[in-house]
């Protein structure tokens, strides 16, 4: 049994189509294994300078900094522009990883979250959820699945188990310590629920009484 949730919004993808097309050229030229896609431009190495120069020299990028290095896998660079200068890409680097995923997987790709059940209604001996890294999984999805089990006659689950161990370190070592205090600094694992964020609200009380802690979703 698989729980399916979409990993991106196709409508939002359409809004970034211009960025995606530009990055398609970058990935195609750099030979990162994505391969050509229908409608993508093809440029030979000798024409790289002529193809890239109009982009980086456009008036709207007059105050921008560019650092470009294009190299096939296992070979030396075939094009460089200020490649040895250190730059701070910050969150703009996400555009490249997102574009790579869109090109390779497509905007309608769905990450599957397998749910294995053992036993028959009304009692299941075990229900095992195997996380695959879906960033859009929410408690609403789990409630819908629970309602489905109930409609099939399941009333008792003796053992509920989850597989959420990450394949690598929880957080990159280069993250700023200050960022770890915010919701977007939550640790990465295979079973991401509600973006791995859990919001609480602290309400002050009368002097001498403990603070009241309120949660938006106790099931998280």
- DSSP secondary structure letters along 181-201: GSGGGPPP-SS--GGG---EE
Can you read off the two tokens belonging to residue 176?
């700023």
Q: What is the pLDDT, as a whole number, of residue 126?
A: 97
Cα–Cα distance for residue pair 146/154, rounded to 1 Å: 9
Mean pLDDT by 10 residues, the chain (220 residues): 41 35 37 41 77 92 88 85 85 84 91 94 95 90 95 96 74 77 77 83 93 74
Q: What is the pLDDT, as a whole number, of residue 25?
A: 38
pTM, full prediction: 0.56
Q: What is the pLDDT, as a whole number, of residue 210?
A: 93
Preceding amide of 24 cis, omega within 30: no
Q: What is the pLDDT, as a whole number, of residue 71?
A: 84
Residues with Cβ within 8 Å of 192's Cβ and at least 6 positions away in sequence, in order, are 131, 133, 134, 135, 137
Q: What is the pLDDT, as a whole number, of residue 152?
A: 96
> Residue 62 half-sphere exposure, CB side, CA atoms within 13 Å?
2
Q: What is the pLDDT, as a whole number, of residue 124?
A: 96
Residue with tokens 């990055």: 23
Give the residue among 154, 150, 151, 110 at the shortest CA–CA distance from 134.
110
Q: What is the pLDDT, as a whole number, of residue 168?
A: 60
**Pairing mode, strands 2-6 and 79-81:** unpaired
């Amino acid at each position: 049994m698989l729980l399916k949730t979409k990993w991106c919004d196709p409508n939002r993808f359409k809004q970034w189509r211009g960025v995606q097309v530009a990055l398609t050229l970058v990935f195609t030229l750099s030979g990162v294994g994505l391969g050509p896609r229908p409608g993508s431009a093809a440029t030979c190495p000798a024409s790289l300078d002529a193809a890239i120069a109009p982009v980086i020299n456009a008036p709207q990028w007059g105050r921008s900094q560019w650092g470009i290095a294009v190299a096939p896998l296992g070979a030396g660079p075939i094009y460089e522009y200020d490649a040895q200068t250190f730059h701070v890409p910050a969150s703009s680097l996400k555009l490249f990883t997102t574009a790579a995923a869109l090109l390779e997987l497509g905007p309608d790709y769905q990450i599957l979250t397998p749910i294995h059940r053992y036993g028959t209604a009304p009692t299941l001996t075990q229900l095992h959820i195997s996380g695959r890294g879906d960033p859009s999984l929410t408690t609403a999805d789990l409630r819908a699945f629970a309602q489905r089990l109930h409609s099939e006659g399941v009333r008792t689950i003796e053992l509920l188990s989850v597989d959420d161990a990450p394949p690598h370190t929880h957080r990159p070592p280069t993250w700023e310590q200050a960022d770890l205090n915010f919701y977007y600094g939550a640790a990465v694992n295979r079973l991401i629920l509600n973006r791995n964020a859990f919001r609480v609200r602290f309400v002050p009380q009368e002097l001498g009484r403990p603070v009241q802690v309120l949660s938006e979703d106790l099931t998280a």
